[in-house]
Amino acid sequence: MLFRNVSVIGLGYIGLPTAAVIASRGVNVIGVDVSQHAVDTINAGNVHIVEPDLDIVVRSVVKAGNLRATTQAEKADAFMVAVPTPFKDNYEADLTYIESAANAIAPVLEKGNLVILESTSPVGATEKLAKWLEQARPDLTFPQTHGDNADIKIAHCPERVLPGHVLRELVENDRVIGGMSQACSEKAISLYKIFVKGECLLTNARTAEMAKLTENSFRDVNIAFANELSMICDELDINVWELIKLANRHPRVNILNPGPGVGGHCIAVDPWFIVSSAPDTAKLIRQAREVNDSKPHYVLNQIIEAAEQFKKPVVACLGIAFKADIDDLRESPALDITKMLAQQNIAKVLVVEPNINKLPESLTELGVELVSLETALELSNTLAVLVDHKQFKAIAPELVAKKAVVDSRGIF
């Protein structure tokens, strides 16, 4: 076997599922994370993040001895870096976690090793990773100077799995493999072939970086189009949902769904990496970000207007997750709207979120209460639909007929 030991650096939403899936193929996987809590949790056969079925896979590979977590990097045949790449105040990508990962693995690197960057990255980040490794290990050769003959092979292979479907998409999705040389790409493909059933598509590192950013910007721009349409339709007294349904009957039109804004850790972030690399040219991509970022405020104003018709407004916010049928509150426009509404202090605010059993402190300290759907329907006079969870889509229309409804997801 070409890869007896694979090390995954960063055991988060991408790293842990990747580590577990590779381990489930009989490879010895060493997971590295700076969080002692994450390491202890995983070594006990548990998970510190929520993703369907991940707990089952992790438990079985830890028990079988194929996955072990540690805070200290160890020797391996391949290293896969899956650390966060947030943006800074000026929307430029913050590569500090990648640099720390480079410094963590540099001391244990050996001739013949493969290093993969999976983190979503601005164009040029893989070259930077290679430079950091080269600086730390002048005794080894790297592809930026030695091409195909380098001791260390380096590639960018962006993750592209959908939260909530990670285990399936990790295996089934096609992968873009961007090596710093042909030999780098080929070695990387042989690693992914261990667990990927989709096709491995070969390119260079810069194109692979841009491909990932492009995928999420494509989605952001298209959601922005839908969000802008929804606001235009409000102005013109047209039902945007009916409009989109009609327009989508054209064979070459496929408009996405308007919503309360764009959340999650990816789509609202990645387009900024393109904008900060090409600020004068990326006009449409920037504008889309701005439209989507403005949508929560727009929906908030609609809710306030609806609530103010009542002497004692009680608003039930349906959903605070960033999208349907998950418990993930990261960068959630629904959560932001609920918070901003509570801060206005114009109504009693109730939250229904079937996927969590405790509200974040940022809401409880404002007096917001988590209630059941039944209680919310009984006590509220204003309904704000912020997430299209399956439980909400099943609400009988007559139960909401007498309420003021702001339906940002078009479920009614």
Stretch that binds ligand SAJ, among 2-10, 246-254, 255-263, 282-290 (CB under 6 A): 255-263
Q: Is 266 in the site for ligand SAJ (CB under 6 A)?
A: yes
Residue of 230, 322, 339, 352 that binds ligand SAJ (CB under 6 A) = 322
For residue 23, the one-letter residue type is A
Does residue 259 bind ligand SAJ (CB under 6 A)?
yes
**Radius of gyration of the chain, Cα coordinates, nearest whole angstrom:** 24
d(CA 72, CA 398): 58
Quick note: the x/- pattern for ligand SAJ over 154-193, rule CB under 6 A, is -----xxxxx------------------------------
- The one among 68, 219, 297, 330 contacting ligand SAJ by CB under 6 A: 219
Instruction: Choose, by CB under 6 A, the member of 10, 31, 264, 271 that binds ligand SAJ.
Output: 264
Assess whether 212 carries a catalytic annotation: yes
Least distance (Å) between residue 312 CB and ligand SAJ: 31
Tokens of residue 169, six digits: 């998409």
Q: Which of 266, 317, 323, 339 is catalytic?
A: 266
Q: How far is CA 201 from CA 19, 159, 189, 216, in A?
A: 21, 13, 9, 18
Choice from 85, 120, 121, 126 touching ligand SAJ (CB under 6 A): 120
Options 76, 130, 202, 267; binder of ligand SAJ; rule CB under 6 A? 267
HSE, side-chain direction, 13 A CA sphere, residue 43:
14
Name the pairing type of β-strands 200-204 and 369-370: unpaired
Q: Which stretch binds ligand SAJ (CB under 6 A): 60-68, 190-198, 251-259, 306-314?
A: 251-259
Cβ neighbours of 401 (radius 10 Å): 9
- Distance CA(386)–CA(322), nearest Å, equals 9
Q: For residue 160, what are the CA distances in angstroms to 8, 14, 28, 222, 270?
A: 17, 9, 24, 18, 12
Sheet arrangement for strand 114-117? 67-70, 28-32, 5-9, 78-81, 114-117, 153-156, 175-179, 200-204
Residue 296 lies near ligand SAJ (rule: CB under 6 A): no
Contact flags string 89-108 toward ligand SAJ, x per CB under 6 A: --------------------
- Residue 63 falls in the annotated catalytic set: no
Give the shortest CB-128-to-ligand SAJ separation in angstroms. Answer: 20
Cβ burial 225-237 (10 Å sphere, 16+ → b, else e): ebbbbbeebeeee
Q: Which residues inside 7-26 make contact with ligand SAJ, applying CB under 6 A?
A: none
> Edge to edge, what strands does the sheet with 348-352 contain?
369-370, 348-352, 314-318, 382-385, 404-407
Nearer to ligand SAJ, 143 or 158 (CB): 158
Interaction site with ligand SAJ (CB under 6 A): 120, 159-163, 215-216, 219, 223, 256-257, 259, 262-264, 266-267, 322-323
Q: List, by residue number, the catalytic residues.
A: 212, 266
